[in-house]
Structure 1
Amino acid sequence: MSATDAAFAGSIPAVYEQYLGSLVFEPFAEDLATRLKGVTSGRVLEAAAGTGIVTRAMVKALPPEVEIIATDLNQAMLDLARTKLQAPNVTWRQADAQSLPFEDSSFDAVVCQFGVMFFPDKPAAYREALRVLKPGGRFLFNAWDSLDANLVSKVVSDQAVEMFPEDPPRFIERTPFGYFDAGRIEGELQLAGFEDVTIEPVDKVSHAPSARHAAIGLTQGTPLRGEIEARAPGRLDEVTDKATQALVERFGDGRVENRMRALVVTARR
């Protein structure tokens, strides 16, 4: 993992929310929130909350008596999240999932949507989740399956790599789509101290209004943007145009069907 892979700053949060929210994140956010419906009181910790897409889904799915603490490493993401949701049972807080500023056994559930892939020390983050969970509490998260099972993202990633053959920007395949080995995930959770682990592949379908909409989101609303700009200042729009063309060639010039697969993981303390 590159040191820049978790850098969601500048204009990235706004592009991420506008172009990727409904395209890739909301379907799985609703899935996670539905799995938490057994939580009727107490506290839920969200790690890597981003712009609050799962947070908003949890507010809809859970009773208002449940307190939600939504955290992220990137303050810029939380700043945008605050503008999208004001709820009396939600607190926003900057925090590193590998070193949580919370007491032992203080949460009924810990939730993380597409964030564990970005943790440099995943077992450390898992130990922290275990530490802050109450006995019997659940750690619920998802991670993308391989790029081959997420074709829209693969087309954009392949196009970016093709444009820089001598120094390919591999953020998409390296980090968000680089942690899909179920055996590894289970092993690292068990190493952290979790004993009851289940991993389920989940398929979702969403739609982008156009190929360009998807291309903008993936090239300009993720840290891929920083990789492109570091290699070729001034060529970001060109890469976005090429990614758009590649998507049109694969999916047609119109509404894009985005078939996705993720692994949903539940681990109990």
Structure 2
Amino acid sequence: MVTASATFSGPQYYNDCLGPVWFDSFAADLVQRLPERPADNVLEIACGTGLVTRRLRERLKPSVRLVATDLSKAMLDYARAKLEACRNIEWREADALKLPFENGEFGAVVCGFGMMFMPDRQAALKEARRVLTEAGILLFNVWDRIEENPHALANAKVLEAMFPGDPEMKFRTPYDMGDPGLLRQLLAGAGFHATRIETKRIAIAGADPRSIATGQIRGTPRATLIEQRGFQLEAVIDKVTDGLTITGGDPYSGQAQAVIVQAMAI
């Protein structure tokens, strides 16, 4: 997963197909939970196409330093170009497990839908703690259970049928980090006190199921993995579209649910 993520080249599909359906709404919800005046430096981990980045820059005072990082150069380049008009954003290609920053350099660390993809989640949280000041803020969201996200469950069923027993094609993995007990355990082990953990549900209405399917396949590192296995992406997208239509109709209606975590460095 790390290698695929680092070479991933489908940011526009991710941004254009999935952003308007749910990611932008979750980004707005996440950022509004950050105090308007945190310490001088704010770090974003796994910034992706810049959906959270843009809202952070809008919320923070111009004097607050904002550093946006991602492991994927393709994602980072896309976000930088998309937000070219936004001033006061530093862009850095960086591995969240080996952040190129000093101890205690930031007053807040923010991550939108990235923590569940870390190959070592505990290590990623420890690294976030390392670069935070004492009493610094950690704010991130992850997907809730796949059963609470019918769009993902429909996708998972298709991929599991097409690639039985293939661990790299296990679409359920990003949906296994939303348990509050697990999150509190991970946070405590990394030097955090969880101040708030809650769920956030958004309604999806009037969406194009094929556009969602395209984003889920072409907009994720699985596009490369599927092609490596000799399958045509459009054939897979056809099957996912059918699954989404059965689940939520055409236009697609349903829900997406995430877990939002607010924690303090101790």
* TM-score scaled by length of structure 2: 0.92
Asked whether the 8 Å contact 1:113–1:141 carries over to 2, the reply is yes
Any gaps of 5 or more consecutive residues in structure 1? none
After superposition, the C-alpha distances for 1:139-186 in whole angstroms (9 at most, x for unaligned) are 001110111001111112211222333647634212x22322221221
Task: Identify the residue that residue 216 of structure 1 maps to in structure 2.
Answer: 214
The one-letter code sitting in structure 2 at the alignment partner of 1:253 is D
How far is 1:81 from its partner? 0.3
1:65 shift after superposition: 2.0
**Helix, strand or coil at the partner of 2:90:** strand
Change in Cα spacing, 1:197 to 1:170, as seen in structure 2 (3 Å) is farther
Root-mean-square deviation (Å):
1.9
Give per-residue Cα distances to partners, 1:167-209, cap 9 Å, x unaligned.
47634212x2232222122111111111344311111123463
Any stretches of 5+ residues in structure 2 without a counterpart?
A: none
Shift of 1:52: 0.7
CA distance in 2, matches of 1:32, 1:263: 10
State the match for 1:247 in structure 2.
244
Task: Give the 5 Å matches for 1:137-148.
Answer: 137-148=136-147
- Counterparts of 1:1-269 in structure 2, within 5 Å, are 2-4=1-3, 6-7=5-6, 9-10=8-9, 12-39=10-37, 42-86=40-84, 87-165=86-164, 167=166, 170-174=169-173, 176-207=174-205, 209-233=207-231, 235-254=232-251, 256-269=252-265
Secondary structure in structure 2 of the residue aligned to 1:172: coil
**SS of residue paired to 2:171:** helix
**TM-score for the superposition, normalised by structure 1:** 0.91
Q: Secondary structure at the match of 1:77?
A: helix
User: 2:25 & 2:213 partners in 1: Cα distance?
Assistant: 19
Runs of 4+ in 1 over 6 A off after TM superposition: none
Shift of 1:36: 1.1
Aligned equivalents of 2:238, 2:131: Cα separation in 1: 45
- Aligned-pair identity in percent equals 41
Q: Contact 2:143/2:178 (CA < 8 Å) preserved in 1?
A: yes
Aligned residues: 264
**Residues in 2 aligned to 1:89 and 1:257: alpha-carbon distance in whole angstroms:** 38
